[in-house]
Amino acid sequence: MSIDKCIEDAMLKLTPQKFGNQSNTEVLQENCEIYAWPQHWPSADCGTGECSNLAITTSTTVVIIGPEQDACIYHNSQFAYKIEDTDGIFWACLDQREMPGREEFERERKHCL
């Protein structure tokens, strides 16, 4: 899946923008923030949680933030997880360009609550 395919997929997963008590039926790309960068992983699963051989691997991480501040995370061009409510942990990971895999992200959130 290319970055364009990640964007196309995220447009279906993100929450449409709300206007008062009405909402759009679709998410428009121009209302989203899109980030992509190379990220190093200690194994070939690239944060997807799939079993793999141990090897340092570099893959592209794509983060797409929707108009209602939910976000879709893609590792190695595969959908990894959706964050319903972006918070300080999410923004810190994004700022550092080190977006963890889903399980690691959820552990970190629980640890900080």
Overall pTM surpassing 0.75 (yes/no): yes
**pLDDT tens-digit series, residues 19-63:** 666 566 678 888 899 999 999 887 655 555 555 556 678 889 999
pLDDT computed for residue 93 by the predictor: 92
pLDDT computed for residue 109 by the predictor: 74
pLDDT computed for residue 19 by the predictor: 64
pLDDT computed for residue 81 by the predictor: 94
Query: Strand order of the sheet with strand 33-43?
Result: 33-43, 54-65, 71-75, 78-83
User: Is the Cβ–Cβ distance between 58 and 44 less than 8 Å?
Assistant: no
Report which of residues 29 and 65 the model is more confident about. Answer: 65
User: Is the Cβ–Cβ distance between 70 and 86 less than 8 Å?
Assistant: yes
DSSP 113: -
Nearest to 8 by CA among 77, 56, 75, 88: 77
